[in-house]
Structure 1
Amino acid sequence: MNGVDQGRLRRLASESSVRDAHLGREIDLALDRCFARIRVQVSGRVGVGKSTVRAVVEAALSESVGFGDAVDITEAAAVDVPRSPDPILDGDVVVHVLAGGVQAADVEVLSSVATAVAVLAKADTLDDASDTVARSAATVGVPVLPLMATVARSLSRGEPSSFADLRREAASLPDDAVLTPDRFALAAPDAESGRRRRVLVDQVEMAGVRLLVGKLRADPTVDDATLRLMLADASGVRPVLDAVGRCIDGIRTDREGRLLHRLTELCAEHPRVSEEIERYLATDEAVLAVMGSALRAVGEAREHGQPLAAAVEWHRRARSASNPDFCRAAVAISRGYLRVHAS
């Protein structure tokens, strides 16, 4: 991943310990806090599909470089259960699962956690998912992402393994056969085909079946890989995973900013033995990590145009700022852009 290099800083801590054992321990403690595994909690009311959403997110992150080896994903107990205490939602990121109408408990969860992703699971079962998403987002006050969770989970497992049966039968399948699971199974030519159709429904729900039938009727030659990509796109899994990934990246950026701030404090506390730390804080790695943290603190994205012009603009903002925190952030951002310009 981009950002500070843990191995490099662990070596710095070890070298510092030789000169000052207390300094080395303090660096190690700061590193432990920064590089602790990021905790993602999946929450929601009873029956909303938390387990399926957790499985989808877990499968995707386990395959992502820089995520799977540094993130723990857990499923919290259900919220809003009568005569039961609500779970403690103290994860670094909370993925809160909704289904259908939003309840007061959902609003409370999403307003009480610092970093949350709201997911409308079972979106394929709703008559008007877009309207439900819009109403849910207006109620909870954060964006709500629709997800066909069963489809996404099946695809993450490599299921369905083949669309051969549906490819053969799509053209002759009556329109009313794709209205319900029972109609779909009963319209099969034999009992074994009916069983396989029920398995397909379990894997992609009827919404997925209808998408597949429509695509195969339009183009019977389309290959299985294209059909899987179509289902993945329709499932909404990519926006959900992107949102979770951005939250994780944000947590890392904030932690790195706090780490480098702590190293700066340690330089002031141990001026006689902190030369190596000071040299590290002057490196491109550290300067750009501080810049990233400062940009997040002021709610700005990194620009990819002219770094020198950006450095001048942030220097101007720093000089005119009345808020000292904003001023410090602007100085760090200006310094970062100057380093980008020089590199």
Structure 2
Amino acid sequence: MREVGSVDPLDRLISTLRMGDGADAGIANGIEVAAQRWRTLPRAQVAGRTRAGRTTVAGALGLQPGVETAPVDEPGFPDPVLDADIVVYVLASTPSPGDRRILASLRPERTILVLNKADAIGTSWADAVNASRKFGQEFGLPAFPLVGSLAARTVSGAFQESDLALLRRLAQSGTAAAVSAEAFVSPAVGPDTAARTELLEHWDLYGLACVLAALEREPELAPQIVLQILHTVSGIDPVARLLGQRYQQAISRRAGTLIDELTRLAARAVPHGGSRARALITEYLDTDEARWLGLCGGLVDPEVAHLAAGYPRPEPEDADDALARAIRWRAVVAGEMSPAARRAAVRVHNGYVRMWERMSSVGL
């Protein structure tokens, strides 16, 4: 861990090079650009056709306003350029030819496919799960069913005790068996038609059916528990978890890109006169911080990421785990692979060697 108040090693490297000759100052500029790119937060886009629910899904995931792209496959307009670190692609039905064209071009490690309005697919949640699985397999992308409107309301809304009292009465009377909006708001159910209509408009039939089913089993559920149930049945949790993982992977990719750029700058920095660029960059690349960044970047490299799929986290559990990982990645490096994959594997191996040294005190 870096001590509080300590100078960032990259900033110190840049500052030192700026005080050198003209060539070193130019290299400092290159390092600063690379460092700024690494420190910039990953960017997300939410894409899909008109009325697929892009804005609703973005809100349900807590993404900043403005991440929605222009609609895909809009007559008279070009398709949006999907070049963000993470793309959440929203479907609301069977993919159109335009959807298929775009989805076929997206990279799996940067994309999440969401089948929105899942409550309108088939007759049960299982139908929506099967449909999303089918589309995910077709396009080679992780895919999830979602009721985005319900998920968004659980983020910003709340259940009142008065609403629950009404729903408890309906659950006890058997209205939970109603399968249509018309039956739910029917005057025959009771005099509180206006209140039921308001509940239906806010939570939709799918959400209310889930609440009624829960209240049939446990009538005294508290409002916050009911909200948590709705949040879960909306399908948002697995999407949000993968989105968080994608953000971490994007940060790791940028870390790997930073190490690649520093390595290139060091190779181009021909020592002459008073130039210290190559020596100083090489010194930084041998620090614990740089080794860690290189390890993280290597683990998410698309050509070798599958080899780390069994790791619960990048950090090893202890010195023995670090050594076992280092030995495994040494074997990977010795295998047949592309130069880019070998560079990634070498960085993972070197990173785990350094962690083993630190954990076992060998490197102290």
TM-score range, shorter chain: 0.7 to 0.9
Residue 15 of structure 1 corresponds to which residue in structure 2? 16
Please point out which of 315, 319, 336 is paired with 1:321.
Answer: 336
- AA aligned opposite 2:197: R
- Report the Cα distance in structure 2 between the residues aligned to 1:153 and 1:314, rounded to whole angstroms: 43
Q: Secondary structure at the match of 2:90?
A: strand
Q: Is the 8 A contact 1:166 1:213 kept in 2?
A: no
Match of 2:35 in 1: 31
2:322 aligns with 307
Q: Quickly say closer, same or farther: Cα 1:153–1:22, change in 2 above 3 A.
A: same
Q: Tell me the equivalent position of 1:178.
A: 178
Asked if the contact 1:16–1:24 (Cα under 8 Å) also holds between the matched residues in 2, the reply is yes
Single out whichever of 24-33 and 137-146 deviates more from structure 2: 137-146
Contact 2:133-2:144 at 8 Å conserved across structures: no
In the alignment, the residues of structure 1 paired with residue 138 and residue 52 of structure 2 have an alpha-carbon distance, to the nearest angstrom, of 17
Distance 1:88 1:318 in 2: 36
Partner of 2:139: 140
Structure 1 window deviating more from structure 2 (206-215 vs 303-312): it is 303-312
What is the number of equivalent residue pairs in this alignment?
Answer: 328
Cα distance change of structure 1 residues 278 and 167 upon mapping to structure 2, 3 Å threshold: same
Q: For the residues of structure 2 that align with 1:196 and 1:6, how far apart are their CA atoms?
A: 60
More divergent stretch after superposition (162-171 vs 141-150) = 162-171
Residues 121 and 148 in structure 1, CA contact (< 8 A), matched pair in contact too: yes
Deviations 1:14-50 (A, max 9, x none): 3332223212211111122223342211111122111
Corresponding position of 1:227: 226
Tell me which amino acid in the other structure corresponds to 2:258.
L
Choose 170-179 or 208-217, whichever is displaced more. 170-179
Cα offsets for 1:129-153 (capped at 9, x unmatched): 1332233224333232111111110
C-alpha distance after superposition, 1:225-280 (max 9, x if no partner): 22222111111111111222222222211111111121122233334323443332
Letter in 2 for 1:107: R
Query: Is 1:273 aligned to residue 272 of structure 2?
Result: no
Unaligned runs of 5+ in 2: 359-364
2:117 equivalent to 1:122: yes
CA distance in 2, matches of 1:158, 1:87: 32
Q: Given the alignment, which residue of 70, 75, 87 partners 1:82?
A: 75
| Matched residue type, 1:182 | E
Classify 1:81/1:323 alpha carbon distance in 2 versus 1 (closer, same or farther; 3 Å).
closer
Check the 8 A contact 1:178/1:206 in 2, yes or no: no
Deviation, 1:155, is 0.8
Q: Distance in 1 between matches of 2:42 and 2:134?
A: 31
The 5-angstrom pairing of residues 137-216 of structure 1 reads: 137-162=136-161, 163-175=163-175, 178-187=178-187, 189-190=190-191, 193-216=192-215
Aligned to 1:261: 260
| SS of residue matched to 1:96 | strand
Determine if contact 1:93/1:247 at 8 Å carries over to the other structure: yes
Mapped pair 1:330 → 2:345: yes
1:196 Cα deviation after fit:
3.2
- Residue 42 in 1 paired to residue 46 in 2? yes
Question: Structure 1: 5+ residue runs without aligned partners?
Answer: 63-71
| Worse-matched range after superposition: 28-37 or 130-139 | 130-139
What SS does the corresponding residue of 2:74 show, helix, strand or coil? coil
Distance apart, 1:6 and its partner CA: 10
- The verdict on how the C-alpha distance between 1:25 and 1:176 changes in structure 2, with shifts beyond 3 A counting, is closer
1 CA distance for matches of 2:171 and 2:339? 68
SS in 2 for 1:171: helix
Compare 216-225 and 10-19 and name the one that shifted more. 10-19
Alpha-carbon shift at residue 101 of structure 1 (Å): 1.3
TM-score (norm 2): 0.81
Q: Post-superposition shift, 1:177?
A: 6.9
* CA separation of 1:120 and 1:111: change in aligned 2, threshold 3 A: same
Amino acid at match of 2:49: R
Q: Secondary structure at the match of 2:43?
A: strand
Contact 1:177 1:184 in 2 (8 A): no
Q: Secondary structure at the match of 2:114?
A: strand
Could you list the per-position Cα deviations for residues 138-183 of structure 1 after superposition, in whole angstroms to 9, with x for gaps in the alignment?
A: 4333232111111110011033355433454233444377322332
Cα distance, 1:90 vs. partner? 2.4
Report if aligned partners of 1:160, 1:200 keep a CA contact under 8 Å in 2: no
* CA shift in 2, pair 1:131/1:226, >3 Å: same
